Amino acid sequence: MAQVAVVIPTLRRPESLTRALRSVFAQKGVEGHAVEIVVVDNDPAGTATAPVEALKPVSPFPLHYATAPHPGVATARNAGLAATDAPLIAFLDDDQEAGPGWLAALLAAQARTGADVVFGPITGVAEGAPAWARAHLDAFFGREGPQEDRLIDKPWGCGNALLVRATALPGPAPFDVAADQQGGEDDVLFARVKASGGRFGWAANARVSEIAPPHRATMAYALRRAFAYGQGPSQEARARGDWPGVIRWMAVGVVQTVVWSTASAGLWLLRRPARARAMDRAARGLGKVLWAPMFEPRFYGAQELARLERLSPSGA
């Protein structure tokens, strides 16, 4: 049985999937660990079959192909877990490229900290972004943390994370499929981990690059995501039945929206690159106000597949 499985969910991105897989093949320092790779094809047309079959002969680790034909981010993650019995699960997104010491650094940090979930840094790469917004978008798609391995207070996202199956991934389907279309499945999971006394860790040297595809390397996409992130505090308060908390977050959102919208307008007139950050903060503020499910943007699953179908009606 494998000790650690690298799970890569994918939806019709054969080129970036190939890049992600080759980066896993190049891992160093994991000779003492039994490693396997699971690719989860979230496309009903099965478009990940060809790249996986083409790369199997050159993979230094067992490479498995699993299907999750109902498009959805939580469904895909659950299918990846069902395809392996490994006690440690490392998630890598199909638009990410791991550095050669990535997996070894995650494993070392988990052993050192004893954390139930370990996260690593991400270098965002927003190729093709407008020059004035490039620095903001690179940072938006990335994440940074402490300079050393240690326990941390808050969780990040599942992309570039190592999870201890027994404590962080309870049951056969720990990711909530209600989040299939809009995302946030990892937020719900990690909230449960924290509530049960679980611990989060940071692996300073487990770096990956996240290469944003052209349709995401835009301020329009980033602002939709910022709006969704802003909805989080209000939605979490609502889920707890904390209506005073909802009202408090909405009030904070109103102030943020007014202040940052005014700032972004002025910076836009002055053509300053800082307007990108101001727009981001205004969108997050508005999300706190318009937190109801009817306003939730959808980024994954059926909507993403429909977008891809419009670009390539033949499914190629």
Whether domain 4-211 has CATH 3.50.50.100: the reply is no
Residue type, 225: R
pLDDT for the residue 273: 95
Looking at the predicted structure, is the pLDDT value of residue 281 above 80?
yes
pLDDT for the residue 26: 98
CA–CA separation, 315 and 306 (whole Å): 10
Q: Maximum distance among all alpha carbons in the chain?
A: 60
Which of the four pLDDT bands, split at 50, 70 and 90, describes residue 64? Answer: very high
Rounded mean pLDDT of 173-198? 87
Residues 6+ apart with CB under 8 A from 209: 96, 97, 99, 122, 123, 124, 125
User: Whole-model pTM?
Assistant: 0.90
Looking at the predicted structure, is the pLDDT value of residue 307 above 70?
no
Looking at the predicted structure, is the pLDDT value of residue 315 above 60?
no
Residues 6+ apart with CB under 8 A from 32: none
pLDDT for the residue 314: 44
CA–CA separation, 248 and 245 (whole Å): 5
Instruction: Name the least confident of 112-126, 243-257, 292-306.
Output: 292-306
Looking at the predicted structure, is the pLDDT value of residue 316 above 80?
no
Looking at the predicted structure, is the pLDDT value of residue 313 above 80?
no
Looking at the predicted structure, is the pLDDT value of residue 187 above 90?
no
Task: Confirm if 76 and 140 have CB atoms less than 8 A apart.
Answer: no
In terms of Cβ atoms closer than 10 Å to its own Cβ (0-12, 13-18, 19+), residue 110 is: buried
Which of the four pLDDT bands, split at 50, 70 and 90, describes residue 301? Answer: low
> For the chain, what are the domain ranges?
4-211, 219-311
pLDDT digits (tens, 9 = 90+) for 69-102: 888 889 999 999 999 999 999 999 999 999 999 9
Q: How far is CA 17 from CA 12, 85, 92, 107, in A?
A: 9, 23, 10, 23
Looking at the predicted structure, is the pLDDT value of residue 52 above 50?
yes
Looking at the predicted structure, is the pLDDT value of residue 16 above 90?
yes
pLDDT for the residue 311: 62
Rounded mean pLDDT of 17-41? 97
pLDDT digits (tens, 9 = 90+) for 126-159: 988 999 999 999 999 999 999 999 999 999 999 9
pLDDT for the residue 215: 85
| Nearest one of 155, 160, 52 to 103, comparing CA atoms | 160
Residues facing 230 on adjacent strands: none
Rounded mean pLDDT of 171-198? 87
